[in-house]
A and B are shown apart, each in its own frame.
Chain A
């Protein structure tokens, strides 16, 4: 296993370097073959490791790579750790990454910069693998920042678009706010435990309960403050309430990127971190409750926004944000296995939904506004069926106790765990989760109905108009059009009905194969693996790589019947509402929005977070910067410092002019000799 893990992790890096440095000299096809090939090899090597843990034959391993830093007692090395938790992440990361690489052959086929794109994708995969195999907190931080870099580069891949490069910066900087917390958490952890090695910290963590630590002049419970600091990092990476604003904007990146990074893998790093450090969170009920509340609030809040957006990718982005909330509150109530299970199933069905959306966008000539879709199921049937499979999975269709799609197993388990936990925060999470499940069903089916059913509304799309009239210029600003137009008038979609003579084409097979593979995952992943991940007595599968609470699993199975049926009920309700509003009576949603008025606008404008942050942080930062510069540096320091001195010493200018003239050597010499003379005189005297 030790050699295969080295290949899994470093082969994508090698591929990224070759493709990245070779770039245009290397050519499109070799770059694509090298990167995609590397990922398929990594994927092929990852599954046996996972299956080894599944069958119980594999053992936890740590492969040392290289010394990194040793400063006094603070030491950490490059090393690859493989245990059950890592193995789960390995298959998720390499499988989705390999499929996304393949899909990109088709999706990016018209791009001039393909080697760069594939190099970034492989670089991302390497960083993500370093993150999940980290044996110490600092290497985890390396991966953490590495995926941040790759995300920055990929969001800004179309760097000519101002909106793309702005979104790239936003993603990096907002993540850095979280990273600040992560970093302080690492410092605190080192201070408390004298090490940054994860296994050593985890074994010592329970013993720290009850101790206190100083922070910012006050005293706090040690484990609470450490967990909260680390969790701030997780909130940034996983786009939780407050630090979520970068994720919707990240949709500026190419759609395969959204599928890989901003749905299946990178954004789940925060959940992975909490699970990896689960014994720490278990040692602080306060921190765990905080995680639960943040997760629950995010899953509700993001779902409300998802119900109102028109951009197909933004709907899925908010859906991702919301699903991450589920994972966090599962972890918060102590059901780490369920959190990881939802991470696992979500990776498949959410990557599927994004890649499906990419296929739709591909077919619709870069149009992303669902108001200009409609009736596409007849034109792109494979994409339609794949998206349907993804939607069935995310909405959690299934029959309790019998069989269901992937999300059915994981989401129901999370809701049951929240209820079964019995705590106040658990109850809050349960009800938020139920409401969010209702909305999940609504916005997911709304997406399907708007896109694939009804009459074609393509004529209103400028992208389609360009396509029909042979004008291939892209208008970068158009993606934002939905935000800038008045929210209410947006409902007047009927005016644009018609096909405008456009013929959408199904995507090429390189794009459809990943869709089909992921569809199989979305249908079957829950049924096949639920026993290992979340059933009673499966602590053996996790082998202590996360805290597996048998009591909680037991409580999950003991929840009242209405709790078991509640997710199914709200799912059906959401489906019915979406069907009524977007198929049966299409004027209904506009009427509702009209009735809700300001509430609708508030939600549609994403709870005004962007505006709030803009006026709270961005504008003041630039204003204060100018003040510091013009007033403090130039107006005060320079004025009373060097400029004042210059004014006082009127000879300053003539003295400076001499330097320019021919006296410079004599000047330098005199200065040096004078210095030596003065010193010798003093000493001799």
Chain B
């Protein structure tokens, strides 16, 4: 890239546009926000095309020493690259989703969204631990405002709940970071990733980070902010919340907890597995009984994020790559599902499932896209949902078969609650005249769902595009974890020659002779 500071530019474009939006009229603000996000998307594509797969671990690095060791340091590896791509891909769609539905304080709304984009990219690109912290925590603010100002009726409660949960975790994380910087003598993330902290200290450092990431993830039982936030947030807020903000927890685990505290991670792995198993079963069953579409999808997100955590704490390549794929796929699919909810919410202004029905009759195109995203959420092979889920579960199988069995029940429960939702909304007779009169997708909506649909299929059919950039980084992480990885419970033991086994052997020899 010849020294062109592309990451800084990607941070700056939305930031500058955000400031400008504050002073613009509604129409101009919308246009500017769309242009800025599209420019960032274009830069994102340039970034991806110039990313050297299999090259140096950290690329596009920028470094500006500020004061006392704190520096403005950016740089990405394959993992960060993919999450940045996800962010810049979803942003124009979010602006599109807000095009008509937001009509008060549009400039400020667009400003908040653009600021959010800067902060999200910043989280994934930061190479200084305090820079990361600033981006990570500041991301709260625009989201808090989006829910609190442009949200639904209970927006204040939801915003407050969201804020309280996430802030609580982050205080502990800040303390841990301060300690780490003192001990290791650097704020540089790549250096810290290779630093061997004393195992006894790792335990509480791990817990401090865990407090923050578990909430962001969100893991059971600190998930209750998520349904509330989703239900109250405007459509685009939900898309970005589910699409990118939830990935910050997973990114935190993969960037900090696992490489910096491998021994503690291994020690706490059973805790993670336990919480993940609880999350899959409990939140899936809760999703089954929801009457509110957004709440249902929010609860399903908690179940899907549990598949991410078991993959991460499988300590092997399949699990780690799988959890990354689940994150990327969930970003697209849950974003798309919230968009689907938003599309009919814009027409009828209710999220109540029972108010709909028979939409396949008057909105057949909508029904088709909704079906695709539903199937991707269920993890149908050929869609993005399958690859990650399959790899994560394959990874954890090598370590804990109980965890695999319990978490794999998610494929049954997931099918049950998603198809039950789909049945009530899309199938059946038209129950209400207003729902029956709703028009099918318009051009703006096509422009939002078609790219998502294509991405979902691409990731399902040819996931190599997404696995290749992170392969080296995941392999390095696996190597880092190798010494601490827990022993699997499913290892094969060859021929303990009891009499029964020998007879089986002979049987086989006979059959082998036969063919």
**Is the Cβ of B507 less than 8 Å from the Cβ of A285?**
yes
**Is the Cβ of A69 less than 8 Å from the Cβ of B461?**
no
B141 within 8 A of A: yes
B494 within 8 A of A: yes
**Is the Cβ of B381 less than 8 Å from the Cβ of A210?**
no
- CB-defined interface of A671-685 with B at 8 Å, one 1/0 digit per residue? 110011001101110
Q: How far is it, in angstroms, between the C-alpha of A625 and the C-alpha of B291 when the chains are bound?
A: 12
Q: Which residues of B contact A152 (CB under 8 A)?
A: 419
- Given A71-B391, A169-B419, A659-B159, A183 contacting B496 (CB threshold 8 A): no
> Separation in Å of the B323 CB from the closest CB of chain A?
11
**Is the Cβ of A176 less than 8 Å from the Cβ of B514?**
no
Contact stretch, chosen from A216-224, A393-401, A560-568, A601-609: A216-224
Q: Which residues of B contact A632 (CB under 8 A)?
A: 221, 282
Size of chain B's interface in residues, with CB distance under 8 A?
Answer: 103
**Is the Cβ of B364 less than 8 Å from the Cβ of A539?**
no
**Is the Cβ of B160 less than 8 Å from the Cβ of A656?**
yes
Contact of A683 among B181, B282, B360, B382 (CB under 8 A): B181
**Is the Cβ of A173 less than 8 Å from the Cβ of B165?**
no
B455 within 8 A of A: no
A145 within 8 A of B: yes
**Is the Cβ of A675 less than 8 Å from the Cβ of B134?**
yes
A146 within 8 A of B: yes
> Separation in Å of the B478 CB from the closest CB of chain A?
8
Q: How far is it, in angstroms, between the C-alpha of A179 and the C-alpha of B412 when the chains are bound?
A: 9
**Is the Cβ of B394 less than 8 Å from the Cβ of A68?**
no
Contact of B489 among A169, A217, A664 (CB under 8 A): A217
Chain A 566-598 interface residues, beta-carbon cutoff 8 Å to B: none
> Separation in Å of the A552 CB from the closest CB of chain B?
9
> Separation in Å of the A129 CB from the closest CB of chain B?
14
Chain A 171-191 interface residues, beta-carbon cutoff 8 Å to B: 172-173, 176-177, 179-180, 183-184, 186-188, 190-191
Contact of A544 among B225, B409, B515 (CB under 8 A): B515
**Is the Cβ of A212 less than 8 Å from the Cβ of B496?**
yes
Chain B residue with the shortest CB-CB distance to A626: B289
**Is the Cβ of B224 less than 8 Å from the Cβ of A642?**
yes
Contact stretch, chosen from A158-166, A366-374, A530-538: A158-166
> Separation in Å of the A232 CB from the closest CB of chain B?
12
**Is the Cβ of A169 less than 8 Å from the Cβ of B382?**
no
Contact of A165 among B130, B428, B515 (CB under 8 A): B428
- CB-defined interface of B305-325 with A at 8 Å, one 1/0 digit per residue? 000000000001110011000
Q: Which residues of A contact B225 (CB under 8 A)?
A: 642
Chain A 39-88 interface residues, beta-carbon cutoff 8 Å to B: 66-74, 78
B375 within 8 A of A: yes
**Is the Cβ of A159 less than 8 Å from the Cβ of B360?**
yes
Q: How far is it, in angstroms, between the C-alpha of A632 and the C-alpha of B220 when the chains are bound?
A: 11
**Is the Cβ of A71 less than 8 Å from the Cβ of B419?**
no
**Is the Cβ of B492 less than 8 Å from the Cβ of A145?**
no
**Is the Cβ of B461 less than 8 Å from the Cβ of A66?**
yes
- Given A72-B316, A142-B382, A680 contacting B67 (CB threshold 8 A): yes
**Is the Cβ of A191 less than 8 Å from the Cβ of B492?**
yes
Chain A 210-238 interface residues, beta-carbon cutoff 8 Å to B: 210-217, 219, 221-222
Q: A74-B317, A216-B401 are in contact. List 9 more A-B contacts (CB 8 A).
A: A67-B464, A71-B467, A156-B427, A191-B398, A208-B492, A210-B504, A213-B490, A624-B285, A638-B224
Q: Sort A-B residue pairs by CB-CB distance and give the 4 closest, nearest first.
A: A72-B317, A210-B501, A625-B285, A187-B397
| Residue contacts A-B, CB under 8 angstroms, 18 given | A71-B321, A160-B429, A165-B428, A183-B390, A190-B394, A209-B504, A210-B497, A216-B405, A217-B401, A221-B504, A283-B504, A625-B289, A637-B224, A645-B164, A659-B144, A659-B149, A672-B138, A675-B138
Binding site for B on A (CB under 8 A): 20, 23-24, 66-74, 78, 138, 141-142, 145-146, 149, 152, 156, 159-160, 162, 165-166, 168-169, 172-173, 176-177, 179-180, 183-184, 186-188, 190-192, 206, 208-217, 219, 221-222, 279, 282-285, 539, 544, 547-551, 621-622, 624-626, 628-629, 632-634, 637-638, 641-642, 645-646, 652, 656-657, 659-660, 664, 668, 671-672, 675-676, 679-680, 682-684
